């Protein structure tokens, strides 16, 4: 590429030619002490179909926007004094374009200033990209603020963690904070969780697999907040983890709301169980005793009539006694459902055996086996919850499954107790049990809520023709730490 010049043979010719050939989107004008343009070149000049002839021989302030003539002349003169001046302006021929104008001195032999150069760079696209980047950053910051999500980046090789402004705000750190990973853990992670977090970090050094991890951080004001961290590593050509990027979402309020919901649900269940207990006691101490007494009186009347009574009267009294006995049995069953005595007296396993036996009597089940790994009694609240889930699950087996075999299993694993009720029945398509009425009908919501209220997990595995497995997993925690206490 060669610059077009008015014959001059100036000393700066080679310099601006070099610039012109290597810088994109640029126009270079060289001017003398009289501000006359003696050279004009640049990729931007040709890209626009302009010719050097449009510039050569004219004074610099004349080729720009008339409004800029004064500042252009002042900048040229400053360059002639050895100074560098810059300003931005819109194009004269294309006002939609934005130009960055730079005025620099042009030294001649023995470094004497013989003129100046104007380096005009079209920065329209650059500025647009900058604005878009700025807008994206703003949107990201706004999204992080709304979602209470902060982002972070860990340069594994240099062990430097940088965090977003939002994360700084959430945990009360100065904006632009950065630290080493060990320092960050020491400053932010509660002591009880340090070991666990350090294990995760150790894994991150070699394993870039995406992860999600819930942890707590201590804010600068001393409050502890709960975060859901997600991260993913990046590796170099050798497969080394060089960087991790991720987010930390503040889920403190969500966790609080969930805890509160669980607490309230537990209180509802406690109230419900209490009401059931009182009703069962009333029925047991009052109605069952009275009906039994009436039965004894009827039998006494039968005996008193004896041989002197008519066979019809005797038959009638016998029938009434029998009906009464059936009613008492039914009432006792109701009491058993309201307050399963065997659960209170003998624990979960015994209660489940009773329930399994009852299920066999009520359905076409050939067998309903109960297996248990329990050694001793559980927290009564946990026992009651698992029993109620099993009761509902077995009711579903009886009413809907058309199963021949069922299994109720209790296992203890990893600090949890797991109840599993499985059957070989018709199963169902979980996708078709979306109607609220259906779900309520199967008691699925009630079972799930009961389990989740105690911080447990509930799962149903089923498919048409494949039987059903209902699984409830509850943590074996200290009753004092239970939600709702």
Question: Which residues of the chain form contacts with another protein (CB under 8 A)?
Answer: 284-285, 288-300, 303-304, 321-322, 324-325, 327-329, 331-332, 335-336, 341-342, 345-346, 350, 354
d(CA 263, CA 484): 3
Q: Which is nearer to another protein, 51 or 289 (CB)?
A: 289
3-state secondary structure 24-92: CCEEEEEEECCCEEEEEECHHHHHCCCCHHHCCCCEHHHHCCHHHHHHHHHHHHHHHCCCCEEEEEECC
Minimal distance, residue 263 CB to another protein, in Å: 33
Q: Which is nearer to another protein, 299 or 411 (CB)?
A: 299
Minimal distance, residue 397 CB to another protein, in Å: 21
Minimal distance, residue 288 CB to another protein, in Å: 5
**Secondary structure class of 485 (helix, strand, coil):** coil
Backbone φ and ψ of 378, nearest 5°: -100, 175
Minimal distance, residue 196 CB to another protein, in Å: 43
In 3D, which of 400, 388, 377, 396 has the Cα closest to residue 352?
A: 388
Can you tell me which residue has the tokens 């039994």? 292
Q: Which is nearer to another protein, 342 or 469 (CB)?
A: 342
d(CA 476, CA 374): 12
Q: Which is nearer to another protein, 194 or 291 (CB)?
A: 291
For 142-183, where are the E strands, in sequence order?
149-155, 160-163, 178-179
Q: Which is nearer to another protein, 18 or 292 (CB)?
A: 292
CA 90 to chain centre: 47
Q: Which is nearer to another protein, 279 or 446 (CB)?
A: 279
Minimal distance, residue 390 CB to another protein, in Å: 17
Q: Which is nearer to another protein, 218 or 294 (CB)?
A: 294
In 3D, which of 411, 408, 401 has the Cα closest to residue 378?
A: 411
Minimal distance, residue 247 CB to another protein, in Å: 54
Minimal distance, residue 306 CB to another protein, in Å: 9
């Amino acid at each position: 590429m060669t610059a077009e010049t008015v014959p001059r043979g100036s000393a700066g010719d080679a310099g601006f030619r070099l610039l012109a050939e290597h810088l994109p989107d640029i126009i270079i004008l060289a001017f003398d002490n009289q501000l006359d343009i003696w050279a004009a070149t640049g990729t931007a000049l040709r890209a626009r179909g302009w010719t050097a002839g449009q510039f050569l021989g004219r004074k610099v302030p004349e080729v720009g926007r008339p409004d800029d003539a004064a500042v252009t002349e002042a900048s040229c003169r400053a360059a002639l004094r050895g100074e560098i001046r810059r300003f931005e302006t819109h194009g004269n021929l294309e006002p939609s374009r934005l130009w960055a104008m730079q005025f620099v001195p042009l030294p001649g032999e023995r470094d004497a200033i013989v003129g100046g150069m104007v380096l005009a760079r079209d920065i329209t696209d650059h500025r647009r990209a900058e604005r878009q980047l700025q807008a994206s950053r703003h949107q990201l910051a706004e999204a992080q603020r709304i979602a209470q999500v902060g982002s972070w980046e860990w340069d594994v090789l240099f062990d430097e963690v940088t965090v977003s402004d939002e994360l700084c705000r959430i945990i009360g750190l100065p904006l632009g904070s950065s630290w080493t990973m060990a320092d960050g853990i020491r400053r932010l992670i509660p002591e009880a969780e340090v070991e666990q977090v350090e294990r995760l970090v150790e894994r991150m050094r070699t394993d870039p697999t995406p992860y999600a991890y819930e942890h707590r951080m201590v804010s600068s004001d001393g409050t502890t907040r709960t975060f859901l961290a997600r991260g993913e590593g990046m590796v170099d050509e050798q497969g080394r983890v060089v960087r991790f990027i991720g987010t930390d979402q503040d889920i403190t309020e969500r966790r609080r709301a969930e805890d509160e919901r669980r607490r309230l649900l537990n209180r509802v269940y406690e109230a419900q169980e209490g009401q059931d207990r009182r009703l069962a006691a009333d029925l047991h101490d009052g109605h069952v005793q009275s009906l039994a007494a009436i039965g004894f009186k009827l039998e006494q009347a039968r005996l008193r009539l004896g041989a002197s009574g008519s066979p019809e009267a005797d038959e009638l009294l016998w029938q009434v006694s029998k009906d009464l006995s059936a009613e008492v049995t039914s009432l006792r069953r109701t009491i058993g459902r309201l307050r399963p005595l065997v659960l209170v007296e003998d624990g979960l396993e015994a209660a489940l055996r009773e329930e399994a036996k009852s299920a066999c009597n009520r359905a076409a089940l050939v067998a309903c086996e109960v297996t248990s790994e329990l050694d001793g009694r559980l927290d009564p609240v946990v026992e009651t919850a698992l029993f109620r889930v099993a009761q509902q699950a077995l009711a579903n087996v009886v009413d809907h499954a058309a199963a021949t075999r069922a299994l109720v299993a209790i296992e203890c694993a990893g600090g949890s107790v797991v109840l599993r009720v499985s059957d070989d029945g018709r199963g169902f398509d979980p996708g078709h049990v979306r109607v609220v009425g259906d779900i309520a009908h199967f008691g699925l919501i009630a079972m799930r809520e009961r389990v989740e209220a105690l911080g447990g997990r509930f799962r149903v595995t089923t498919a048409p023709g494949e039987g059903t497995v209902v699984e409830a997993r509850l943590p074996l925690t200290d009753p004092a730490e239970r939600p709702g206490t």
